[in-house]
Structure 1
């Protein structure tokens, strides 16, 4: 057995249930007005374009790898690996290309990320940005 043989073990258990997907999607969209208000306070208007940092979790290396490739296909900067402090979880994180900071555009992006994550059995755990890019 090799040093990284644990990575080849497949975990076919579903990670994100339909109920969890719906709940998490709703939470993410409900948080949007608060986050956008904070950005407006930092002089980020709706015409500004910023890269967004994203976070996803899943329960299998292969799922993380496949999803990271899908996000890379969108020209996102992506990395993935074992989540720190959680040996049975895998983190997929990175940065988008620039996104217009209007409420509607960001809401559309959140929907896209929730749906795409669910398709790959990865949970969208949130996003952030840095106004001074």
Structure 2
């Protein structure tokens, strides 16, 4: 063990298993109609475009940073750091660009976020928005 190995200690363990990814993706897509119904109650119709807030978790700062950079490449506003609730986890959060609030468009965005997160070993933990943007 080298002198500096304690400073750059890496956690190479996989954070999101294939099974967890599939389960989380299904859960996120199944929750979407409820969230969309709430938006409709707030007079957000299908033609409205809103930015969506997103949340991801992972187990290393390096993974969080790499994923944040990828999301920034999509022109998303992104920040990342240590989770307040669990110091062993890292959170990636931010806002998408404007997205049409059609069910199919939002479902496609959710699928994209789940898949993109999985590719960077980050778990998509959900999304939200503010109708008055």
For the residue of structure 1 that corresponds to 2:87, the secondary structure is strand
CA deviation string 1:64-121 (max 9, x = no partner): 0000000000000000000002111000000000000000000000000000000000
- Normalising by the residue count of structure 1, what TM-score does the alignment of the two structures yield? 0.94
Number of the residue aligned with 1:11? 11
1:10 and 1:85 map into 2 onto residues whose CA distance is: 21
Contact 1:11–1:60, Cα closer than 8 Å, also in 2: yes
Q: Is residue 44 of structure 2 the alignment partner of residue 30 of structure 1?
A: no
For the residue of structure 1 that corresponds to 2:89, the secondary structure is strand
Counterparts in 2 of 1:31-110, with a 5 A limit?
31-110=31-110
Structure 1 residue runs of 5 or longer lacking an equivalent are none
Structure 2 residue runs of 5 or longer lacking an equivalent are none
For the residue of structure 2 that corresponds to 1:105, the secondary structure is helix
- Normalising by the residue count of structure 2, what TM-score does the alignment of the two structures yield? 0.94
> Residue 10 of structure 1: CA displacement?
1.3
Aligned residues: 130
Stretches (4+) displaced over 3 A = none
